[in-house]
Amino acid sequence: MAESVKLYVYDLSQGMARSMSRSLTGKQIDGIWHTAVVVYGQEFYYGQGIMATNPGTTQHGRPLEVIDIGETYLPIEVVIEYIDSLRSVYTPEKYHLLDFNCNTFSNDLCQFLCGKTIPSHITGLPTEFLNTPFGQSLLPMIEGMFGQSQLSSGSSNGVTPVSAQTSAQAASLLQGVSSAAMSAAPTTVQPVQFVSDSTVMEKFFTQYKAVAVMFTSTTCPPCKVIKPEFIKMIEDKHQGQAEIKILGVVMDTGSPAFNSQKYGIRGVPTFQFYLNGRKTGEFSGANYAELKSQVDMLLFDAFPPHPHRKILLRSIVDQPNVPIIFKVPGKLDMVYGKLNSFLEQESIVLDVNQKKVLEGSKSFLENPAGTTIDVGGWKLLVDQLLSKLSTDQIFPLLDIYRSLLVHKQVSDFYVSDPSQISNIMEIVYTQQEPPKKATWLMILRIACNTFANSTLSITHFTSNLETSHRSQLTQLLITSLLAEDSTVRQAAASLVYNCSTCIATERLKKEEGTFKGMAEQEDDDWLVELSSAVLDALTKETDEAIIHRLLAAIGKFLFLSPEDTSVANLLSALDIDEIFQN
């Protein structure tokens, strides 16, 4: 499903640029632009690191302009994964008013989401400003605040200095702009609110599903004891949560705007608990144990846990949600030697660039931290060799491929175009005869290693996007589960387990309220297809290690699944109890 992408545009100068720019610079500059990207109901922007809030709730207020960038087909978990991957790049320390700012981040994010850049009049504003005498005069001041700019020519010859008065005004303006750009703190509601007006509290009852109210007064000694505990308890319930599940309200009963008769308050402290605007509980006194019990009960009623959480499932809960990755490379001298022998056998002569790419891949695997690899050149080389070598001769090439794929520099390259990986998967089931064990095994390991990069695996091999290559992965998996060789079946079981782990991880994120992930668009048909293949394999399998992985995958397919899932009905219809007993 397509999701709209909007660019929110703000003026950091609050209109000063529009009114003063022509007289100072000789050019009309309508604003000092700050931008943010709105997608999936969140406004993402760069200031003190990458920040997110409800749209239009930063200190900038309402945007001056909202630009429709387009639509994205990437699921929200992929978007969040990408944004999280940028946090080490877009740090507060790296912010630069001219070179690396909010618009740089917005431009990167829009390109990732839609393949489109933000308007050039926004990204080009620093260059336009510095191309004026006034801009050149202020450059040293800007560089004094943020460090040297990449746009600096390194020379101030011929620049007319500004007056002391203008310099002071400019310094004040720059300080204000930089502070506004880097803070942009959200103004969203905090989990605990202090109110003195009953009408304000009534609004909270309609806005929030669960509300816990403490009625207090400034002259009440027990209130002073229990109030900090109440505040801490509510705040602790929101650690790591993106949304407010239970709102705490501290109501001052001494306020003239408080209606004691309406709430039946005869003494303080008194606590009342509301679910969907209806009072569900009340007690008086500074009783911490009772307070904790009532808050927990309110949360339970408002957000009841999945039925699976009510029973002891240690064998499933304790399973780590970590994919099985084949990280350890083979003996490189032997692997590369075998590939070169096949090239010589088929009279395939590599040109200078191809030899350099092949040698570079070996150097990279030997020392990933100290070298880089030409991934584009590697992709072209693989295409050439796949077309020239027979299926039974490509296993050393694929062994190198799967070893490279666990490194982020390589896997990130394939995020933009995973078609080569998909084509390799198809080798198993598109030919008249399946490949021999060595090639088949390496293809499965390549498929497993795509899960080392969650953006690559989720976007292109487990999502239900139209552009996804999930059908190729699924067909590879189904075909391989029934292979004669147990080593191949074990690798296929690892691939099934990785799929189940991906699903389980997203369900946990949904349960924790971190963000709405794949579980919101869970594909029941795909789960049924995978479960059918696993059950079919279980009826024939005798290898204990393979059975263990398949059963673990079934457990993850079921755990925290939607109550209306067809998987449970399928397992019952196929008599899974009988399969277990056999």
Please give the backbone phi and psi of residue 247, each rounded to the nearest 5 degrees, phi first. Answer: -95, 130
Q: Are β-strands 192-195 and 33-39 bridged in parallel, bridged antiparallel, or unpaired?
A: unpaired
Q: How far apart are CA 358 and CA 65, in angstroms?
A: 51
- E strand intervals along 79-226: 192-195, 210-216
> Within its chain, how far is the Cα of 116 from the centroid?
20
Q: Which residue has the tokens 């008086």?
A: 284
312 Cβ contact list (under 8 Å, min separation 6): none
Annotated active-site residue in 60, 96, 102, 114: 102
Tokens in use for 301? Answer: 């009623």
Alpha-carbon gap, residue 553 to 572, rounded angstroms:
17
How far apart, in whole angstroms, are the C-alpha atoms of residue 192 and residue 231? 7
Q: How many residues does the chain have?
A: 582
Token digits of residue 435: 């490949």
Q: In what order do the strands lie in the sheet with 33-39?
A: 49-53, 42-47, 33-39, 3-11, 65-72
Q: Which residues contact 31 (CB under 8 A, 6 or more apart)?
A: 9, 11, 12, 13, 15, 17, 18, 64
Phi, psi of 243 (to 5 degrees): -130, 160
Q: Which H/E stretch holds residue 354? A: helix 352-366
Q: Which of 389, 16, 339, 7 is nearest to 177 (CA)?
A: 16
CA–CA distance, 503 with 398 (Å, rounded to integer)? 27
Name residue, tokens 């074990």. Answer: 490
C-alpha of 126 from chain center? 30
| b/e burial code for range 148-169 (CB count within 10 A of at least 16 → b) | ebebbeeeeeeeeebeeeeeee
Token pair for residue 230? 């109440």
Active site residue 220: no
Please give the Cα distance from 419 to 460 (Å, whole number).
9
Specify whether 34 is catalytic: yes
Q: Are 75 and 465 in contact (CB under 8 A)?
A: yes
What is d(CA 548, CA 316) in angstroms, rounded to the nearest whole number? 12
Among candidate residues 34, 60, 407, 469, the one labeled active-site is 34
**Half-sphere exposure in the Cβ direction for 451 (13 Å, CA):** 24
So which residues are the catalytic ones? 34, 102
